[in-house]
């Protein structure tokens, strides 16, 4: 029996063949407790015993902590009346694939202790079906239709994390960030619109430890394949996109910031790009006073903020911006989010492909400067951690990495001292030393 987590194999699988489930449960529980204890005081940044959990879990715990999720919290109900929830489900594209899910998963779930859930693209549970006694037990953790099980709300969980990473995943017991879910395990995978590739929801199986074995993940993936085939047939009969075109904000690099709406590219002023980026970073909304502080160290007055928001509504759409507080009322993705997503998935090369330069390099808005520094630090940390010579070479010859001394030194460390390239890189580092010495 394995007593330590394997270093190879599929990182998305929770319980591997030969694992001692009881021992695995104790190890993961201890790691979770250690992680929570070390992150309880403000400012502590230790990650706990990273060798005791999979990297995909540790990364999710870190995201959960950064989002302010409490390990003692629980899912919250979305503010929809029963009739509104029914109408929302009926109009949602996941309703098209519900018969497929019921046929492949739900019909055999009675008296098995298993639950089958279907979510929307944001992590709201649309349907929860299966074993009646398991449904009753699941009430204790609010795993019910209408509840928000996004990773931002509940922390690490299979449907929420699958949506966050756009990948199938299994979560075993105490790998869940919320303690109320530690008696459960789950496997989930996202479902995509075949026409656009956008996520439309997720399919999840929740139950005991046996839900976290490789065979269940294979079952989920097969069900998703069947569901997406059903969506493809639906599109052939009615060739309309299943989800609306998502707005995209492009703010990386020296080019003019741009709002992308389908095939339309709308140039933005720097101020409008700053506001949209800050609102995307604060989905809970920002008061006019807080927005003013994030935009200008000297603080803008309320009249100026209102005028800017009025002009922005003409560009972004009046139905897409709320007030009191100012907030986004529609989905807005960005190249910043794309870089973060690639880093979260461990896809450093993909992150560098998108990271064409700093966030709004000409902006002096304090909130933007913080985002700019945070994103660059994450990219640099991933580069130094990976030590990939090809990526380090790409970074050190780029505009934003050519004066990164730490990256140059990491690049040098991986070169053969006998190679001509070693001498060139060494000379560059010596030049840095001379410049800093003066």
Note the pTM of the prediction, 2 decimals.
Answer: 0.58
Q: How far apart are CA 93 and CA 201, in angstroms?
A: 9
Nearest by Cα to 10 from 55, 50, 60:
55
- What does the pLDDT read at residue 63? 93
C-beta of residue 244 within 8 angstroms of C-beta of residue 197: no
State how far the Cα of 144 lies from the Cα of 159, in Å rounded to an integer.
Answer: 13
Per-residue pLDDT of the chain (438 residues; tens, 9 = 90+): 343 444 557 889 999 988 999 999 999 999 999 999 887 533 334 444 445 789 999 999 999 998 889 999 888 766 556 667 887 888 889 999 999 999 999 987 777 889 999 999 989 999 999 999 999 999 999 999 999 999 999 999 999 999 999 999 999 999 999 999 999 999 999 999 988 888 999 999 999 999 999 999 999 999 999 999 999 998 888 766 665 567 889 999 888 999 988 667 899 999 999 999 999 999 899 998 899 999 987 767 878 888 888 899 888 887 788 888 999 988 898 999 989 988 888 888 888 888 888 999 999 999 999 999 999 899 888 888 887 788 887 887 777 777 778 877 777 777 778 877 787 777 777 787 677 665
CA distances from 1 to 8, 18, 174, 286 (A): 16, 6, 20, 52
What are the residues whose beta carbons fall under 8 Å from the beta carbon of 436, sequence distance 6 or more? none
Return the HEC string of the chain: CECCCCCCCCCCCCCCCCECHHHHHHHHHHHHHHHHHHHCCCCCCCCCCHHHCCHHHHHHHHHHHHCCCCCCCCCEECCCCHHHHHHHHHHCCHHHHHHHHHHHHHCCCCCCCCEEEEEECCCEEEEEEECHHHHHHHHHHCCCCCEECCHHHHCCCHHHHHHHHCCCEEEEHHHCCCHHHCCCEEEEEEEECCCCCCEEEEEEEEECHHHHCHHHHHHHHHHHHHHHHHHHHHHHHCCCCCCCCCEEEECECCCCCEEEECCEEEECCHHHHHHHHHHHHCCCCECHHHHHHHHCCCCCCHHHHHHHHHHHHHHHCHHHEECCCEEECCCEEEHHHHHHHHHHCCCHHHHHHHCCCCECCCCCCHHHHHHHHHHHHHHHHHHHHHCCHHHHHHHHCCCCCCCCHHHHHHHHHCCCCCCHHHHHHHHHHHHHHHHHHC
């Amino acid at each position: 029996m394995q007593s330590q987590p394997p270093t190879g194999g599929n990182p998305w699988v929770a319980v591997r063949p030969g694992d001692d489930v009881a021992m695995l449960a104790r190890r993961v529980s201890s790691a979770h407790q250690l992680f929570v204890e070390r992150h309880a005081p403000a400012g502590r940044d230790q990650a706990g015993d990273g060798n005791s959990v999979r990297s995909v879990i540790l990364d999710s715990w870190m995201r959960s902590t950064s989002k302010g999720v409490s390990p003692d919290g629980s899912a919250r109900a979305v503010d929809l009346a029963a009739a509104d929830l029914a109408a929302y489900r009926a109009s949602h594209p996941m309703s098209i694939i519900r018969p497929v899910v019921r046929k492949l998963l739900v019909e055999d779930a009675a008296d098995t202790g298993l639950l089958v859930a279907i979510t929307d693209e944001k992590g709201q549970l649309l349907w929860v079906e299966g074993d009646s006694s398991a449904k009753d037990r699941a009430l204790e953790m609010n795993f019910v239709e209408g509840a928000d099980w996004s990773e931002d709300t509940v922390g690490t969980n299979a449907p929420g994390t699958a949506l966050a990473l756009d990948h199938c995943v299994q979560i075993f017991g105490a790998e869940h960030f919320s303690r109320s879910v530690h008696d459960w395990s789950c496997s989930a995978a996202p479902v995509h619109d075949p026409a656009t590739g956008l996520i439309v929801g997720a399919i999840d199986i929740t139950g005991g430890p046996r839900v976290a074995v490789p065979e269940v993940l294979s079952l989920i993936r097969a069900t998703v394949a069947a569901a997406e085939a059903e969506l493809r047939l639906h599109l052939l009969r009615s060739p309309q996109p299943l989800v609306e075109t998502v707005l995209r904000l492009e703010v990386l690099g020296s080019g003019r910031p741009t709002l992308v709406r389908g095939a339309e590219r709308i140039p933005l002023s720097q101020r409008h790009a700053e506001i949209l980026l800050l609102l995307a970073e604060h989905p809970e909304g920002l008061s006019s006073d807080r927005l003013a502080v994030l935009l200008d160290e000297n603080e803008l007055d309320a009249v100026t903020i209102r005028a800017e928001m009025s002009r922005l509504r003409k560009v972004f759409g009046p139905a897409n911006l709320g007030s009191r507080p100012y907030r986004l009322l529609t989905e807005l993705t960005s190249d910043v989010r794309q870089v973060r997503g690639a880093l979260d998935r461990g896809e450093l090369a993909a992150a560098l492909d998108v990271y064409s330069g700093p966030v709004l390099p000409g902006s002096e808005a304090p909130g933007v400067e913080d985002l700019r520094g945070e994103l660059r630090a994450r990219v640099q940390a991933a580069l130094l951690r990976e030590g990939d010579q090809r990526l380090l070479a790409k970074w050190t010859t780029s505009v934003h990495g050519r004066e990164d001394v730490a990256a140059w030194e990491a690049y040098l460390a991986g070169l053969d001292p006998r190679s001509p390239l070693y001498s060139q890189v060494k000379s560059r580092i010596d030049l840095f030393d001379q410049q800093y010495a003066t």
